[in-house]
């Protein structure tokens, strides 16, 4: 089924973009750059394009990366929501992914406004990891279903 193959491709793109974002998030943390942009959602209170110097490169890069991940997630989830429910758990997966993404962005903002409260940062890391695992799982499952039933498990009406 062409729609399932499209969903699988988008799920892999979302996984790859999220993996890159996790690395930039880890680099932000390891270099103590978490408050290089001390305000949320804009940098230094009102800047959409701050000067990319020092820790701002990683911290602002992480936020812009989150924006890119949001775009591919919406595309992938939209493709999942269009698949027939009988072909697999794509719709449930898409809704869970959208909820996790909204939660993760809110936690990112809370991490800044709470001045990196440890509990918030730990939950942000956990939800980010769960989000990545979810997309890799959906991508692998979509590949397996596509191979097992090239029609995606959807029988034409008789």
Residue list 117-156, contact with ligand HEM (CB under 6 A): 121, 124-125, 128, 131
**Using CA atoms, how far apart are residues 150 and 1, in angstroms rounded to an integer?**
6
Q: Which residue is nearest to ligand HEM (CB)?
A: 108
Give yes or no for residue 29 binding ligand HEM (CB under 6 A).
yes
Bridge partners (DSSP) of residue 156 are none
List 14, 15, 18, 87, residue binding ligand HEM (CB under 6 A): 18
Min dist CB 110 to ligand HEM, Å, is: 9
Min dist CB 33 to ligand HEM, Å, is: 7
Min dist CB 5 to ligand HEM, Å, is: 25
By the 10 Å C-beta count (0-12 exposed, 13-18 middle, 19+ buried), 9 is classed as middle
> Which of 1-9, 103-111, 136-144, 149-157 is the region at the interface with ligand HEM (rule: CB under 6 A)?
103-111
Min dist CB 30 to ligand HEM, Å, is: 7
Number of Cβ atoms within 10 Å of the Cβ of 158:
3
CA distances from 96 to 18, 51, 77, 119 (A): 15, 36, 9, 22
Give yes or no for residue 13 binding ligand HEM (CB under 6 A).
no
CA distances from 70 to 10, 102, 111, 131 (A): 12, 9, 18, 12
Task: Give the CA angle between residues 79, 125, 96 to the nearest 5°.
Answer: 30
Site residues for ligand HEM per CB under 6 A = 18, 21-22, 25-26, 28-29, 34, 40, 62-63, 66, 69, 101, 104-105, 108-109, 111-112, 116, 121, 124-125, 128, 131
């Amino acid at each position: 089924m062409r729609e399932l193959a499209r969903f699988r491709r988008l799920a892999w793109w979302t996984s790859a973009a999220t993996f890159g974002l996790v690395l930039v998030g880890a680099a932000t943390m390891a270099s103590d750059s978490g408050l290089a942009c001390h305000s949320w959602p804009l940098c230094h209170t009102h800047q959409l394009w701050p000067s990319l110097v020092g820790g701002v490169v990683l911290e602002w890069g992480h936020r812009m990366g989150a924006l890119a991940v949001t775009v591919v997630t919406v595309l992938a989830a939209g493709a999942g929501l269009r698949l027939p429910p009988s072909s697999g758990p794509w719709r449930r997966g898409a809704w869970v992914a959208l909820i996790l993404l909204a939660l993760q962005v809110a936690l990112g903002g809370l991490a800044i406004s709470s001045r990196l409260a440890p509990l918030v940062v730990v939950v942000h890391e956990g939800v980010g990891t769960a989000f990545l695992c979810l997309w890799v799982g959906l991508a692998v499952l979509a590949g397996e279903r596509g191979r097992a039933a090239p029609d995606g498990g959807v029988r034409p009406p008789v």
